[in-house]
């Protein structure tokens, strides 16, 4: 029989305790608490992300690329591209896929 799943409150408590602890790796802490490392990291990153959104202000940064944006195949349509939980790119016109590939390459590199 599968053990009952742990609640969000359980994971929040664990993450808060881990944040107060010093000198332990994720793996050491997960092993010490008897939880799977991947599950612990999932909750750790999710809770950290939620906390950073609620405690930080939004910053806007203008991006300049080394290549020109081609004309939009669908003028007048906007779009948003989310990169993880902390970065959102907003376009007034939906760029073509080649431009997005170049832009993502610039952001990663």
Same domain, 62 and 94: yes
| Per-residue tokens: 101 | 């590939």
Residue 80: pLDDT over 80: no
Same domain, 94 and 66: yes
The pLDDT of residue 33 is 94
Q: How many domains does the chain have?
A: 2
Same domain, 62 and 84: yes
Whether 3 is in a domain gets the answer no
Whether pTM exceeds 0.75: no
Summarised one tens digit per residue, pLDDT across range 39-72 is 999 998 888 877 655 444 555 556 665 655 555 5
Percent of the chain with pLDDT over 70: 64
Check residues 42 and 83 and name the one with the higher pLDDT: 42
Whether 30 is in a domain gets the answer yes
Please report the DSSP string for 51-72 in residue order. Answer: HHHHHS---------SSPPPPP
Domain of 37? 8-55
The pLDDT of residue 60 is 58
Helix (H, G, I), strand (E, B), or coil: what is residue 1?
coil
Percent of the chain with pLDDT over 90: 24
Whether 43 is in a domain gets the answer yes
Q: Which residues contact 40 (CB under 8 A, 6 or more apart)?
A: 11, 14, 26, 29, 30, 33
Same domain, 78 and 101: yes
Residue 32: pLDDT over 90: yes
**Residue 30: exposed, middle, or buried by beta-carbon count in 10 A (0-12, 13-18, 19+)?**
buried
């Amino acid at each position: 029989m599968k053990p009952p799943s742990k609640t969000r409150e359980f994971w929040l408590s664990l993450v808060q305790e881990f944040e107060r602890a010093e000198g332990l790796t994720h793996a050491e802490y997960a092993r010490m608490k008897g939880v799977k490392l991947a599950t612990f990291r999932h909750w750790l990153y999710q809770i950290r992300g939620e906390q950073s959104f609620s405690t930080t202000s939004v910053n806007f940064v203008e991006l300049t690329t080394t290549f020109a944006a081609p004309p939009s195949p669908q003028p007048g349509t906007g779009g948003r591209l989310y990169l993880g939980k902390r970065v959102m790119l907003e376009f007034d016109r939906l760029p073509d896929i080649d431009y997005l590939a170049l832009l993502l390459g610039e952001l990663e590199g």
